[in-house]
Each structure stands twice: as structure tokens, then as C-alpha cells.
Structure 1
Amino acid sequence: MKIEKSSTKVRFGTLDPRKVEDVTKSVLEHGRYRNPRSWDTWRQPSFITAIKLMFTRSQNGLPSKQELERTLPMNVTNGTVIGSPPDSGIKVTWFGHASLLVQFDGVSILTDPIFSSFCGPASLVGYKRYRPAPCTVEELPKVHAVVISHSHFDHLDLPTVKQLNRKFKSDLRWFVPSGMKSWFTRAGVEDVVELIWWEDTCNYIQLGRDTSTRVRFFFTPAQHWSMRNGIDTNKSLWGSWSILGPNNRFFFAGDTGYCSNVFKEIGQKFGPFDVAAIPIGAYKPKALLSPQHVDPSEAVQIHSDIQARHSVGIHWGTFELGKEHYLAPREDLKKALEKARLDGHNIDFFTLQHGETMLLADKKTGNREGGGESN
């Protein structure tokens, strides 16, 4: 499938001067963003889609609490392990769903943090968490930055935002999609950077009294949408994050459907990434959810498209968002990897237990340290 470029372009430069190219801008029409019309994999969810999803039989099969402890064990986050970034490589801790603590090059970054017991406007109209958060906001170490992919409740949680703001105040910088800065300002957050696709900001993050490190946060495309109430659909942007440090590169896909040109372009411009976080859950029924969510086989394709060395599966095992069995994302990922390996591809794509930490891309001790289920 060939995607034609829009006539509206933006120029940008990366750390590699050979990669200065034209790219398609975010599309804003009449106060609302949209995915490019040339993306034939996109369909905007409708009220009919929501009704069909509501009446689709669920295969979640959530068992008893005791069985969940066995099949999806939770590790109480070790404060010593996550207390500081590693000397080499990238340290990744999964808190459930799309929430990660990513530590490298002296900085600690949170992705789409949600530590609440449910996601939604209220507990009675939201999704209850079936695996608890492995720690509280108060138990987190020093965090330098937070990246937000979009405004949906399972990726942007107001109570968590307020807790993080109380704990770190102006020492914490928030990177958000265009159209969301005012929401954070109303929540009391002071330091907010708002970006459109392919826009970046270069940050000298203070590590100590006399030391700082340079990290670039590029807001990159994703195939998705945004909404928090019935009247703000697509009034804010959505996307992924390509974060480039002096020694390591990290990609956070956020929430997305699959569009080959999107991820191949990101890989061509910023790859290879040392570590990527890619969603693998909430994909059934595929006919309804494929425009906005990838399944595990598509997640493996994204891993290849962006040229990731290691990938961790996110967006699963926490909330009942899709109709697939609660363990299906992990099992289907194994099948997708088996097929890829039969085709001659050696892919390091794995899942973590809740609260588990893994050290990746470590030049000193090898590629991977820690637990994690090698799929």
C-alpha cells in the first residue's frame, strides 16, 4: 500500500543531519484533528461501532483472584531497583496497561501513567482494574518527564496527574499532544510542552546541581483518535513518542491501529531504537477495533518497521477493553513470534509481569538482564 504525501509539509532535523526530510503534518480542520485521508486503514469509530462492541460476547474469561495471582502475578515494585537510571542501557518497569517507568541516560520517564483502581469519568461508568498497580505515586523515585499519547481515560488519568503534580511540582515536565495544554493547566500542572506530529523539543534535564543531560522528545504519528466527553472528539491530537538520548533511543507507541507507512517512516528517521513499548491488547472483535488497536501480529510488524532491537508488550492485562481472553495478547504474541522466526526473523519481543523491571540494551553486561517472559 502506497500512501501519498500531503501537500502540506513541515521540515525538521534529527540528531543525524542526513535525516532532514519532508514529512506530513498533523491535520487540523475546523478545530478538530483527523488522520490523513490517504490512510485507508483508518475508520473513525461511530455510535454504531460502540453499540456493536457493547453487544459482542466477551471471551475475557476472568478467573478468581487466586487464579489471577497465578497467571498474572504482580511484583511489588522494588524501590531500590528503580531508584535511579542505569549506568548503561535502558531500564523498563511495567506498572500495567500503557504505564511504564523508562530509565536511561540519567533520566526517568513515565508513559501514560495510571495508578487508579479504574479508568473512566467515574467508577460506575469506567473500567475496573483487574490487576492492581504494583506501587503508588508516592513510592515512585525521582521522575524527570511524563509523556502522554492521547486523551482517552485509560491513558490520561486525572487523579494520577494530580498526585504526580503534588509530588514533583515544577520539577516534572509533561510532554503532551497539541490541544491538551489547557487541560493540564486547569489541573494545576505548571511545566507542559505541547507538540504536533514530528515536532520536537530539546531538553537539558537537570540531573544534579552541576550536571544535566540532553534528551530530545519527538511527537510522532499514530493511527488513533481522542475524546474525553461527548463534545471534544478529536479536539486534541494523538500520537507516539520517539525519545532520543545521547546514548539510547526509546519508542513509545501509545495506542494505535496499524498503518505501515507511519511506522516505517518513524523507523527510517529515528531507528534503530534500542527499546520500544508496543501495544498488544484490546484487538477483538478485529472488524471493529483494528482501525484503532493493533493485534500481536501487527505489533510484531511495528517492531520490525521501526527497527527496534527489543520490544515490550503493553496495553493488556489490566483493563477489560477488548473482547479477547485476558491471556490472549500474551499467547497470540508467542504465536506471532513463532511465525516470524519460522520466516527467518530473530525478534526480541517480550512481556513483563506487573511491577517487573528489566534492563535492556546494556552494552556492559549484554542485551538483557532481569526476568520477563521471553515470548
Structure 2
Amino acid sequence: MPSMWKAVKFLMETNHSDIPKEEVLNQTLPILKPNFNYDVNRISMTWIGHSTSVINMDGVTILTDPIFSTRASMSQFVGPARYRKAAATVDELPQIDAVVISHNHYDHLDLGSVEALNARFGSDLYWLVPSGLKEWMKEVGVTQNVIELEWWQSTCIPNHPDIQFTLTPAQHWTRRGLTDERKVLWGSWTVIGPKHRFFFAGDTGYCPVFKQIGQMYGPFDLSAIPIGAYEPRWLMEPQHVDPEQAVQIHEDIRSKLSVGVHWGTFALAHEYYLEPPMKLKTSLNEHNLNETEFITISIGETKTI
């Protein structure tokens, strides 16, 4: 977790994100209208923005780290504002069976989005969260179908007993207020069905645990791995991978296809806003990997394999 002096130093450094006006963004980062008509025999991912994606596999539809609000903050009046809107509203989503939460930072666990999802889906929706988050969910009105897991612990949801959800480790931290640092757990998610395997890295720095995840649960058919919010490295390296480290995770977990997330939505760090996909391609070439193995897609776009 960054100390106060590191936070001040970060704010004093030059920010190279250079977010342009919307008319330029519409060309460089277009937002597509999602098509949620999935092929039930295949595995699909629709990128809603940031780390929020809809995953459809083996008859189950999963939502990752939902944030549909304008700001990733404790208040919708201050804090980081999205420069690209979500590809869909909560009301426009397909029927969601399960939400997986990686950790409680505001850009991954958004109060307004939790409330909206709970209002729409109610008892039909299951929430899979790291240990310690169940009490927070209860406080904000989600009083049923919340399943807490420790690292390496697995569960299923009643309507899909053939789908195994496992909270796997990641290198990160948690906090929402001034006094709750590391009071709840964080992690990545491994989802294994009868035909397909999906991995969601959440938010993470690089660490050797990904090799272990790959050995235990790989190979994965599809993975969502963060590639943004990584500069400056002196601050971000312990908690956010850069594109080269994201490629290393891709290799460690033995992913057949990975999609870069956690970029193109909020200016949370100092790299140029279009740098993550460019560095990703460079890193793939340096690892002698085909550029089709680890890709980026447009907000609202669906990738099916």
C-alpha cells in the first residue's frame, strides 16, 4: 500500500496520460454496442470497460469486478472519473448468474453498481467475494447469496453445480477507508467448467504464484489480465503489472488466449493512455509469441473462441 509521501511524490510527477477530447477518443477508443447473443457451445467475453467483463461459458454467465458509475471513488462528486463510458448499463446486461469480485478498491467494487445489480437480479444472482467482504455486502443491502472464499478455496453455485469457482492468490492489497487497510482479502479467480476454463487476474503485481495457478488449473481457454495503470514503476510495480509482466502471467497460467483489461477507462496512473496495447505487442514479440495469443478488444466488443 503506497505511503503518504509516495502518494505526494506521485502527484508531483509528470502525468503522461494525455487524455484527448471525446471526438478523438471516439476514433482511438471506440465504444461498441455489445451483442450478448452468445454461442452456448463456446466461451465468450464482452469487455464492458476497465476490469468489468461479461463471461459466458458452459451455460453460466459471469460478471467480473462491476463498475458502471462515472467515478471510481467513495463519492460521485470527486475522484477519478471515467473518460470512456461503460459499454452497457446494468439494465442492458444479459441475465447474470454470478459476480466475481477481486478486491474492494473503488474501481473494482463500486457501491452504485452493486446496488443496481442487486435491485435488478436479486435472489437470482450469486456474489463470490474474498474473505471479509460479506459483511460489507450485507451493510449495503446484499443480504443473500454472498459466498466468501479464502485463497485456494472453491465453491459452486446451486443452479450450476458443474462450474467450480476458486479464489486464487494475487499480489495486491485492500482498503476503502482510513482504518481498514488489508482487513479483507483480495485475489484472482479461476473458473472451471466441464468444457472450458477461464482466469480473471483482478488487480495484481507480478509474483511466482501464477506459475502455481497454471500448474494446478491450466491450461486456460480464456483469461482477462490487467495491462494498464503501471507508471511510475517505483510506485506501481508491487501492485500493478505492466504489459511485459502481463505477458509473463499469460505464459505462467498457460492461457490459450488472453484479453487485456484494466486500461482505456480511468486515468489511474501516468502512462500515455494508448501505451498499454502498444507495449503489449512489443512484449509479445520479445517473448516470441504470436500477437493473436494476447489481444486487446474495443469496449463493448465480444471475443468468442
TM-score normalised by length of structure 1: 0.79
Q: When the two structures are aligned, how many residues end up with a matched partner? A: 304
Instruction: Give the match for residue 117 of structure 2.
Output: 164
Instruction: Give the match for residue 52 of structure 1.
Output: 9
Q: Please say which structure displays the higher CA radius of gyration.
A: 1
CA distance in structure 1 between the partners assigned to 2:105 and 2:232 by the alignment: 19
Q: Which of 196, 201, 208 in structure 2 is aligned with 1:253?
A: 201
Q: Which of 166, 174, 183 in structure 1 is aligned with 2:136?
A: 183
CA distance in structure 2 between the partners assigned to 1:268 and 1:77 by the alignment: 34
In 2, are the aligned partners of 1:109 and 1:144 still within 8 Å (CA)?
Answer: yes
Percent identity between matched residues is 50
CA distance in structure 1 between the partners assigned to 2:67 and 2:292 by the alignment: 29
Q: CA RMSD in A?
A: 1.3
1:64 counterpart = 2:17: no
Q: Any residues of structure 2 matched to 1:128-143 within 5 Å, and which?
A: 128-143=81-96
Q: Any residues of structure 2 matched to 1:224-303 within 5 Å, and which?
A: 224-259=172-207, 261-303=208-250
Instruction: Find the residue that maps to 2:6 and give its secondary structure.
Output: helix
Shift of 1:144: 0.2
Residue type matched to 1:257 in 2?
Answer: G
C-alpha distance after superposition, 1:125-165 (max 9, x if no partner): 31101001111100111100000000000000000000000
CA distance in structure 2 between the partners assigned to 1:86 and 1:48 by the alignment: 50
Shift of 1:357: 0.8
CA distance in structure 1 between the partners assigned to 2:238 and 2:48 by the alignment: 26
Instruction: Find the residue that maps to 1:108 and give its secondary structure.
Output: strand
In 1, are the aligned partners of 2:201 and 2:224 still within 8 Å (CA)?
Answer: yes
Residue type matched to 2:293 in 1?
Answer: D
Instruction: Find the residue that maps to 1:193 and give its secondary structure.
Output: strand
C-alpha distance after superposition, 1:87-143 (max 9, x if no partner): 322110001100000001001000001111111011343110100111110011110
CA distance in structure 2 between the partners assigned to 1:141 and 1:264 by the alignment: 34
C-alpha distance after superposition, 1:296-331 (max 9, x if no partner): 000000000000000000000000101000001011
Distance of aligned partners of 1:346 and 1:74 in 2 relative to their CA distance in 1, 3 Å threshold = closer
Shift of 1:334: 1.1
1:74 counterpart = 2:31: yes
1:223 counterpart = 2:186: no
Q: Any residues of structure 2 matched to 1:77-92 within 5 Å, and which?
A: 77-78=34-35, 82-83=36-37, 85-92=38-45
Instruction: Give the match for residue 294 of structure 2.
Output: 349
Residue type matched to 2:2 in 1?
Answer: P
1:358 counterpart = 2:299: no
CA distance in structure 1 between the partners assigned to 2:155 and 2:49 by the alignment: 28
Instruction: Find the residue that maps to 2:257 and give its secondary structure.
Output: strand
C-alpha distance after superposition, 1:33-71 (max 9, x if no partner): xxxxxxxxxxx4211221111111100111111100000
CA distance in structure 1 between the partners assigned to 2:245 and 2:29 by the alignment: 23
In 2, are the aligned partners of 1:86 and 1:106 still within 8 Å (CA)?
Answer: no
In 2, are the aligned partners of 1:340 and 1:346 still within 8 Å (CA)?
Answer: no
Instruction: Find the residue that maps to 1:303 and give its secondary structure.
Output: helix
1:313 counterpart = 2:260: yes
Residue type matched to 2:107 in 1?
Answer: D
Instruction: Find the residue that maps to 2:16 and give its secondary structure.
Output: coil
CA distance in structure 1 between the partners assigned to 2:255 and 2:127 by the alignment: 25
Instruction: Find the residue that maps to 1:119 and give its secondary structure.
Output: coil
Q: Which one has the bigger strand percentage?
A: 1
Instruction: Find the residue that maps to 2:221 and give its secondary structure.
Output: strand
1:194 counterpart = 2:141: no
Which has the larger displacement, 52-61 or 268-277?
52-61
In 2, are the aligned partners of 1:275 and 1:311 still within 8 Å (CA)?
Answer: yes
CA distance in structure 2 between the partners assigned to 1:71 and 1:96 by the alignment: 15
The answer for unaligned runs of 5 or more in structure 1 is 1-43, 206-211, 361-375
Shift of 1:270: 0.2
In 2, are the aligned partners of 1:91 and 1:102 still within 8 Å (CA)?
Answer: yes
C-alpha distance after superposition, 1:165-214 (max 9, x if no partner): 00000100000010100111111112100011001113342xxxxxx551
Residue type matched to 1:223 in 2?
Answer: Q
The answer for unaligned runs of 5 or more in structure 2 is none
